[in-house]
Amino acid sequence: MKSKMELLKQIVASEFMKQDLHLFLNTHPMDKEAISKYNYFVIESRGLREKYEMNYGMLSETNSLSPYPWQWLNNPWPWEADANFKFDKGDM
């Protein structure tokens, strides 16, 4: 089982790939390879987000299911250190 921060890091990285491929596709709409890569990261980030939310809580205040009581308040706020991952040397 991956740690919370490791999973969060993967989610952010996967979301970033989606974003950058989306920008590429806006100028290259016929690029099949780019579309399949984009689709790959859509599926991947969806899976990672699901896994994270099942184990560690809500990632979004309007797009995540919450058990009772309302869970959003349990998470550290985005600007708190606890809410953020750090890169380590093995990441490159």
Partner 1 sequence: MEYENRSKMAKCSASNNCVPQETVIKDVRLAAAYVPYQKLCTLFTPLEALKRGTAFPELYSPYDGEDKCYKLESSKKERTYEE
Shortest distance (Å) from residue 15 CB to partner 1: 9
Applying CB under 8 A, the residues found at the interface with partner 1 are 9-10, 12-14, 16-17, 20-21, 24, 27-28, 31, 33-34, 37, 41, 87, 91-92
Measured at the CA of 57, the angle between CA 1 and CA 83, to 5 degrees, comes to 85
**At a CB cut-off of 8 Å and minimum separation 6, what does 86 contact?**
5
For partner 1, which is the closer residue by CB, 24 or 66? 24
For partner 1, which is the closer residue by CB, 27 or 62? 27
Helix (H, G, I), strand (E, B) or coil at 27: helix
